[in-house]
Amino acid sequence: MPREVHLADLQLAIMQVLWDRDEATVADVRDQLEADGRKLAYTTVATMLTKLEKSGHVTRESKGRVLSYRPQLRRDQVSRSMVTDLAQKLFRGDLETMVSHLLEGCEVDQAELTRLKKLIRQKEREVKGDD
């Protein structure tokens, strides 16, 4: 089973840039974060990427004088880990309340409801052991 990963807000934003691009320099990450409304110093982004590298979340490769970074975590791995943590911390494991809050707080169209129902049916089969 993959290890649990909990990223701070800025770390997650940086990882999202890397996931979207598969590889990026400090300048690439900084420019994308700025385009997303986060104005950060180049050194701040470089420091965060170094911390992510030290924790094994990214790798870096030297391309001449430029460092390029690649994600070592999968987006779904981080998503699952952080959602599970949220469910436990905020909702004390009460998934019904959590899903209720999500449905009330988000715009949900008919196609999404259909997909959600399908996921619930799949989980029901899994729990019953019919999978």
**Range(s) of the domain holding residue 45:** 1-93
Number of domains present in the structure of the chain: 2
- 44: domain CATH number? 1.10.10.10
pLDDT, tens only, 29-83:
999 999 999 999 999 999 999 999 999 999 999 989 999 999 999 999 999 888 9
67 plus 129 within the same structural domain: no
Same domain for 124 and 84: no
**How far, in Å, CA of 26 to CA of 48, rounded?**
10
Which amino acid would we find at residue 88?
Q
Do 9 and 30 have their domain in common?
Answer: yes
